[in-house]
Amino acid sequence: MAIIEIKELTKKFNKLAAVDALNLQIKEGEIFGLLGPNGAGKTTTLLMLTTLIQSTSGTATINNYDIHTQPHNVRKSIGIVFQDPSSDEILTGYENLKLHGWLYDMPDIIREKRIKEVLDLVDLTNRQNDRVKKYSGGMRRRLELARGLMHHPKVLFLDEPTLGLDPQTRGTIWEYIQKLAREKNITIIITTHYMDEADKLCDRLAIIDQGKIVILGSPKKLKKNLGGDIVRLKSTKLNISKLKKLSYVKKISSCNDEICLTIENANKHLQELLNFVGKVDSVEIHSPTLDDVFLHYTGRKIRESAPEGSWADKAMHANIQGGTKR
């Protein structure tokens, strides 16, 4: 069952189509990744889905509510964890959650019950009365998750959920995210620049470029679809046209002075390949990764697309540039 259904969703800023007739269905309980280079349209898409800006045309429904005609119900159905921490450092963890409950007009009894539940969920019960400024980065991230879950959202949007965290804390956050989807049946939409994170967490993902979805599927399927092993050759003198004549070379892409080849049974053909191309500065061979998928479909590495800043900043800029009227 689709809990998010996007139909011909378009956003234009003057003549530029930031999002171009997007169509997509996301299932209930699914962890879905939205990836793309800077300026690809993913942030604009999420701003429209969360009702922070309006589309130029097309629409979407979340939990059966239309983002244009029923925005209040959409907002009640979603939770958002922004890239930049937004909890009040002067308040305690408990006080931040209580304030959030007030903003959603939650009755006292229900609010206190939910505060206890979400604190238990993210293992912050013992630190609920400490001011947030005393929290570690991982604890702040967990508090943000707890706050996003306070009002029982059906859909949770996570913008770069582990940005800047150490590997151990990232792993802990991953466990919470998977637990939410599995035990609470919450649909989770993730934007991330960590390909290992997308590979680990996402049931499916979409890569967006120039306002359109260029590929959609499970991480396993997308890697398999590349059709072979990945061989990277670093040299300033490689002749791509000559490489295309080799029958076992299935795909070729280039980035700066590096050539990326998709080769069927690379171990068998590697020596022959090196004899053919001659001297190279370096050679690397590995099974396909999501980094390779991203490079293949966008022509650039995900590392070249650094995080773009907070949704709030993007929403303000979008409203100034294009307005909120349809």
* pLDDT 10s digits, 143-163: 998 898 888 899 999 988 888
Look at residue 243 in the predicted model and tell me its pLDDT.
79
Q: What is the DSSP letter of 30?
A: -
CA dist 110 and 152 (Å) reads 11
Please, what are the domains in the chain? 2-218 (3.40.50.300), 227-287 (3.30.70.920)
Question: Strand 31-35 and strand 204-209: pairing?
Answer: parallel
Residue 18 has pLDDT above 50, yes or no: yes
**Cα angle at 315 between 196 and 290, to 5 degrees?**
15
CA dist 276 and 155 (Å) reads 53
Look at residue 234 in the predicted model and tell me its pLDDT.
85
Summarize the confidence of residues 115-132 as an average pLDDT: 92
Edge to edge, what strands does the sheet with 212-217 contain? 78-81, 155-159, 187-191, 31-35, 204-209, 212-217
Token look-up 């999420």 returns 46
Q: What is the mean pLDDT of the chain?
A: 86
35-49, 129-143, 260-274: least confident range: 260-274
Instruction: Locate 237 and state its tokens.
Output: 């003198």
Residue 52 has pLDDT above 80, yes or no: yes
56-70, 185-199, 267-281, 303-317: least confident range: 303-317
Contact present, 161 and 188 (Cβ < 8 Å): no
Q: State the burial class of residue 118 (Cβ atoms within 10 Å of its Cβ: 0-12, 13-18, 19+).
A: buried
Look at residue 127 in the predicted model and tell me its pLDDT.
95
Question: Strand 204-209 and strand 212-217: pairing?
Answer: antiparallel
Summarize the confidence of residues 257-282 as an average pLDDT: 82
Instruction: Locate 264 and state its tokens.
Output: 């069927």
Residue 109 has pLDDT above 60, yes or no: yes
Cα separations in angstroms, 138 against 13, 40, 80, 173: 37, 29, 17, 8
Phi, psi of 37 (to 5 degrees): -65, 165
Token look-up 């939990």 returns 63
Q: pLDDT band at residue 320, thresholds of 50, 70 and 90? A: very low
Look at residue 307 in the predicted model and tell me its pLDDT.
53
CA dist 81 and 279 (Å) reads 49
Look at residue 325 in the predicted model and tell me its pLDDT.
43
Instruction: Give the gyration radius of the chain's Cα atoms.
Output: 22
Q: For residue 269, count other CB atoms closer than 10 A to its CB.
A: 20
For the CA atoms of 9, 307, 63, 11, the dihedral, rounded to the nearest 10 degrees, stands at -20
pTM assigned to the model:
0.81
Q: pLDDT band at residue 165, thresholds of 50, 70 and 90? A: confident
Summarize the confidence of residues 214-235 as an average pLDDT: 88
> pLDDT for 237-250, tens place per residue?
777 777 787 888 88
Question: Strand 229-234 and strand 258-263: pairing?
Answer: antiparallel
